[in-house]
Amino acid sequence: MAAGLTVLFVLVVFAAIIVAKSIALIPQAEAAVIERLGRYSRTVSGTLTVLVPFIDRIRARVDLRERVVSFPPQPVITEDNLTVQIDTVVYFAVIDPQAAVYNISNYIVGVEQLTMTTLRNLVGGMTLEQTLTSRDEINRALRGVLDEATTRWGIRVNRVELRSIDPPPSIQDSMEKQMRADREKRAMILTAEGSRESAIKQAEGQKQAQILAAEGAKQAAILAAEAERQSRILRAQGERAAAYLQAQGTAKAIEKTFAAIKAGRPTPELLAYQYLQTLPHIARGEANKVWIVPSDFGNALQGFAKMLGAPGEDGAFRYTPSPVEEDLPKPEDDSDEVADWFDTSTDPTIAQAVADAEAEARTPVDGPAYGAPRQITPPSTIAPGPAANPVPAYPQHDDPGHAAPPPGTGQ
């Protein structure tokens, strides 16, 4: 009984071993190379495979996914005899598991060694500067050579990258010094260019300021000359009107005085007395040191009395007034001709010129293009003459007694 159980147990174990060796589960993205009696039989991937026990066996399992392999830095000598350390990264994938298993013992080592030799061949024909600036060209050349060489190994190289290129420390120090010198040179050039541009801008600004100042002085001189011209014209016309009023007033005063003398009928004695009263006023003056009364002063008074009077019955001269003439010619009335002399309204032409000058003075100065002078409108020319009525405005007062007298009156 015990022997039977032992044999049964051995049979069960043997059956389990047979079943385990007969079934193989190959996952997706993985391939298995199966041999039968030591020779290649088939390649399976992503399936449940049945094997003949003790006849079929899985030789190798190959990962079909793209793999990234980073190789350690390798010393490479450039064309100018400088040793640089280059670190590479290769992206590849197995496309033929049978070739990857039977055509090369270790395809990863093969890819690494092939990358090293190809890299040394490429970089050996370049200088250090070309190596540092030609990464894309080196990557393309490496990929082309590796892809062509690894095709018979069942491998496809998708991409090759140079992760780092490290020159010797002394070369790095020299390169840093050169870059620092280049940066300082560029900084000095930019500083000089900035100073030059600043000097040019300042010169242009001073030029424009001088041009604007000259144009402003010119405009001010023109306006001042025009104002002086108009002022003289208005002053002359005002003096003309004042002289007319003064002459008119003098004429009225003489007329009133003459009428009063006629109405008063003065005697020769009164006239002689007035003559004597006037003599001190004639002699008064700073330049008069000595005043001599003529010896025939009495004869002069007698002749004056005979001229103005007539002898009476007693032999004395009496003043005989002249007959009053009623139809004397009146002074010519020229009020209409001189009426515009007393017009105190503002001349529209002068007001417009003043407004234009004020507008021009308030106009902001914009930044014109360099080298283009700013155009300034010349002042309006004011034509003098009677049509413009350039009469000075007499000051107006609240007191009616100070109002300008109308033409034709002596008040």
Going by C-beta distance under 8 Å and a sequence separation of 6 or more, which residues neighbour residue 129? none
pLDDT for 56 = 83
pLDDT band at 407 (very low <50, low <70, confident <90, very high): very low
Does residue 354 register a pLDDT over 80?
A: no
pLDDT for 398 = 42
In this structure, what token pair is assigned to residue 263? 């109405």
C-alpha torsion angle, residues 96, 97, 98, 104 (rounded to 10): 100
* CA distances to 83, 135, 377, 386 from 138, in Å: 17, 5, 71, 98
φ/ψ of 301, rounded to 5, equals -70, -35
Report the chain's terminal Cα–Cα distance, integer Å: 174
pLDDT band at 332 (very low <50, low <70, confident <90, very high): low
Angle at the Cα of 219 from the Cα atoms of 202 and 368, rounded to 5 degrees: 35
With left for phi above 0 and alpha for psi between -120 and 50, is residue 323 left, alpha or beta?
beta
Does residue 378 register a pLDDT over 50?
A: no
State how far the Cα of 54 lies from the Cα of 37, in Å rounded to an integer: 8
In this structure, what token pair is assigned to residue 221? 């001189």
Q: Which strands make up the sheet holding 56-63, listed edge to edge? A: 39-50, 23-36, 56-63
Total residue length of the chain = 411
Smallest CA-to-CA distance from 306 within 272, 263, 259 is with 272
In this structure, what token pair is assigned to residue 308? 């103005």
Going by C-beta distance under 8 Å and a sequence separation of 6 or more, which residues neighbour residue 296? none
Widest Cα–Cα separation across the chain: 219
Q: Tens of pLDDT along 72-90?
A: 888 999 888 888 999 899 9
Lowest mean per-residue pLDDT among 30-44, 63-77, 131-145, 319-333: 319-333
* CA distances to 102, 112, 119, 325 from 146, in Å: 19, 10, 10, 148
**Highest-scoring range by mean pLDDT, 47-51, 121-125, 372-376:** 121-125
In this structure, what token pair is assigned to residue 271? 């006239």
In this structure, what token pair is assigned to residue 113? 């060694």
Q: Tens of pLDDT along 205-255?
A: 999 999 999 988 988 888 888 888 888 888 888 888 888 888 888 888 888
- Its sign, for the CA torsion 163, 169, 170, 174, is positive
Of residues 13 and 116, more confidence is placed in 116
Instruction: Summarize the confidence of residues 305-328 as an average pLDDT.
Output: 60
The helix/strand/coil state of 348 is: helix
Provide the residue type at 101 as one letter.
V
Smallest CA-to-CA distance from 45 within 57, 59, 61, 56 is with 61
Provide the residue type at 225 as one letter.
A
The helix/strand/coil state of 156 is: strand
pLDDT band at 365 (very low <50, low <70, confident <90, very high): low
pLDDT band at 185 (very low <50, low <70, confident <90, very high): very high
Angle at the Cα of 231 from the Cα atoms of 229 and 236, rounded to 5 degrees: 100
Smallest CA-to-CA distance from 89 within 50, 119, 62 is with 119
Helix 268-283, helix 297-308: angle, nearest 10: 130
pLDDT for 7 = 77
Q: In the 8-state DSSP scheme, what is residue 315?
A: S
State how far the Cα of 34 lies from the Cα of 44, in Å rounded to an integer: 8
Q: Tens of pLDDT along 151-181?
A: 899 999 999 998 888 888 888 888 888 888 9
pLDDT band at 186 (very low <50, low <70, confident <90, very high): very high
Q: In the Cβ-directed half-sphere of 65, how many Cα atoms lie within 13 Å?
A: 8
pLDDT for 382 = 42
In this structure, what token pair is assigned to residue 86? 């280059």
Instruction: Summarize the confidence of residues 266-272 as an average pLDDT.
Output: 68
In this structure, what token pair is assigned to residue 289? 């040191």
* CA distances to 149, 260, 278, 301 from 269, in Å: 161, 18, 14, 10
pLDDT for 260 = 76
The helix/strand/coil state of 163 is: strand
Of residues 285 and 51, more confidence is placed in 51
Lowest mean per-residue pLDDT among 63-72, 95-104, 140-149, 313-322: 313-322
